[in-house]
Amino acid sequence: MRLALKILVVLVIGTVLGLAATWLFVIRGAMPGGVSDGPWKTNLLIGNSGGDMMTRAAVAMHGLLALNRSETVYYSTYTDNSGANLDGACTYRLSGRDLPARWWSITVYGADDFLIANPQNRYSISRTSVTRDASGGFVATIAPKASGPNALPTNGETFNLTLRLYNPAAGVVADPAHVALPSIKRVSCP
Amino acid sequence: MSAREWIGWIVATLAVATAVHIASMWYLPRAVMHVAISRMGAVNAIHHGKRVDATSRGVVRPSPDLLYSTCPFDLSKGVLEVKAPVPPDTYWSASAFDANTNNFFAINDRNIGGQPLELIVLPPGHTQEPDHIAGQLVIHSPSVRGLILFRTLISDEKQFARVDAVRRQANCGVLQPSSSGG
């Protein structure tokens, strides 16, 4: 009887620990990283049949129906250039130049992996929507109540960014750690 | 209980935890995909999503710059036929996902060769191709259930109505009963 009780305790505690690990590392986790390029992270196994179990589970939770790398490469970040977590209360300066792909976009997502409601219905900047400066580069403002041509409002919520490269240049897949991706610098916090 | 017994029980607990963790990670993508497909509506039929905004909660990380159309499929009911015109002057792609979330097929407006999409999706193990599909792309799905997903880029707001009208001409449906296949 005591042995049966011990086995039951092992099964219950083991099950709780196993599910907790899945919740912590996969469900509560983030888009799978693998390769870092500044604050941005990507994993070329996203959408690929050869992806490992952990990558597939993380993509299912945080990037379901992602395309494979020949069609699209996805980068995500939850931090700024300094490595600090992105804070919805703060203002950030996102700056860069056109990215090596047929079409690109940078989209703001909430902690729940969905778009953040805002009065302007502004959720992203892209190759076709971004306003460039005289040098051809762009500067976007990420802030709780951001406004202006390249505004990305966060409504004060915890957020993260996904950068999509549709039909990426060959160099992106060959060396995803050295693509000239936009920088993200914190300007101010309340 | 001796220290040796304690160690034995701890090792057994960790073994159970590892097994549960692996099993749950194996099951998770299948469960998420099953729920996603179920939410999309009737299988073997096309569904055109509305413009993406903050109220779009069907699938995580939707792109607000894309229009999505979906064809959830169940090949136990037969071979799937998919037809879609390619909207002009914008990025467009059709991609296929199996029940385990793998993107096993993708084609876009550039590599389709200027033709409308005519695609046949065969179930796993289906060896006999229908004889009246000459000229159509034929792919084998690794699973019976899955999804065809169309992405159409809204590259120019002025072209939205025209692009939206073209993507809504896409269609999909069962071509023939599965019993006639091999």
Kindly report the pTM of this predicted structure. 0.87
CATH code linked to domain B47-180: 2.60.40.1610
Laid out side by side, the sheet with B171-176 consists of B137-140, B117-122, B79-84, B171-176
Q: Flag whether residue B14 sits within 8 Å of chain A, measured between CB atoms.
A: yes
N-term to C-term CA, chain A: 61
Domain-located, residue A170:
yes
Which pLDDT band holds residue B181 (cuts at 50, 70, 90)?
Answer: very low
User: Is A185 strand, coil or helix?
Assistant: strand
pLDDT value at residue B77: 85
Predicted confidence band of residue B134 (pLDDT cuts 50, 70, 90)? low
Give domain status of residue A123, yes or no: yes
Bridge partners of A111, per DSSP, are none
Q: Is B97 on the interface with A (CB under 8 A)?
A: yes
**ipTM of predicted complex:** 0.86
Q: Which residues of A, range 132-151, sit inside 8 Å of B by Cβ?
A: none
Name the strands in the sheet holding B92-98, side by side, starting at the edge strand that comes first in the sequence. Answer: B47-48, B66-74, B145-153, B92-98, B103-108
Ranges of each domain in chain B: 47-180
With beta carbons under 8 A apart, name residues in chain A contacting B52.
Answer: 115
B144 token code pair:
């019976």
Under an 8 A CB cutoff, do A21 and B21 touch?
yes
Min Cα–Cα distance to chain A from B17, Å: 4
Q: Where are the alpha helices (DSSP H) in A23-164?
A: 53-62
With cut-offs at 50, 70 and 90, classify the pLDDT of residue A1.
Answer: low
| Percent of chain B residues past pLDDT 90, beyond the cut | 65
Chain B residues lying within 8 Å of A109, measured CB to CB: 61
Across the strands, what pairs with A179? none
- Please state which of the ranges A1-15, A99-113, B96-110, B118-132 shows the lowest mean pLDDT: B118-132
pLDDT value at A105 more than 80: yes
**Residue B136 pLDDT > 90, yes or no?**
no
Segment 77-116 of chain A within 8 Å of chain B by CB: 102-103, 105, 107, 109, 113-116
Which residues pair with residue B81 across a beta bridge?
B120, B173
Domain that holds residue A78: 31-188
The answer to whether residue A179 sits within a structural domain is: yes
Determine, yes or no, domain membership for A16: no
pLDDT number for residue A14: 94
Q: Which amino acid is at A74?
A: Y
| DSSP 3-state of A11 | helix
Percent of the residues in chain A that have a pLDDT greater than 90, as a whole number: 71
Rounded to whole angstroms, the Cα distance separating B165 from B163 reads: 5
- Confidence bin at A148 (pLDDT 50/70/90): confident
| pLDDT tens profile A39-71 | 999 987 776 656 678 888 888 887 788 888 889
Phi, then psi, of B3 in degrees rounded to 5: -60, -35
A142 in any annotated domain = yes
A152-165 mean pLDDT = 96
Given an 8 Å threshold on Cβ–Cβ distance, is A10 in contact with B149?
A: no
Q: Does A32 touch chain B (CB under 8 A)?
A: no
Round the CA-based radius of gyration of chain A to a whole number and report it. Answer: 19
A123 at interface of B, judged by CB pairs closer than 8 A: yes
| CATH assignment at residue A163 | 2.60.120.600
For position A34, what pLDDT does the model report? 78
Whether chain A has a CB inside 8 Å of the CB on B143: the answer is: no
pLDDT of B182 > 90? The answer is: no
Q: pLDDT per residue over B29-55, tens digit each?
A: 999 899 989 988 999 999 999 999 999
Which range, of B30-39, B89-98, B152-161, averages the lowest pLDDT? B152-161
How confident is residue B178, by pLDDT bands cut at 50, 70 and 90? Answer: very low
Residues of chain B with Cβ-Cβ distance to A26 below 8 Å are: 25, 28
Task: Tell me if chain A has a CB within 8 Å of the CB of B38.
Answer: no
> B17 vs A15: CB contact, 8 Å cut-off?
yes
Handedness of CA A120, A126, A128, A133 (dihedral sign): positive
What average pLDDT does this structure show over A8-34?
85
Phi/psi at A114 (5° precision): -120, 170
CA distance A36 to A48: 19
What average pLDDT is seen over chain A? Answer: 90
- Tokens 């086995």 correspond to A7
For residues B65-69, average pLDDT = 95
Q: How close is the nearest chain A Cα to the Cα of B9, in Å? A: 7
Which of B18, B39, B103 to substitute to test the interface with A, most A CBs within 10 Å? B103
The mean pLDDT of chain B is 88
**Percent of chain A residues topping a pLDDT of 70:** 94
C-alpha A82/C-alpha B90 separation (Å) is 37
Give the total number of structural domains in chain A: 1
pLDDT value at position A177? Answer: 94
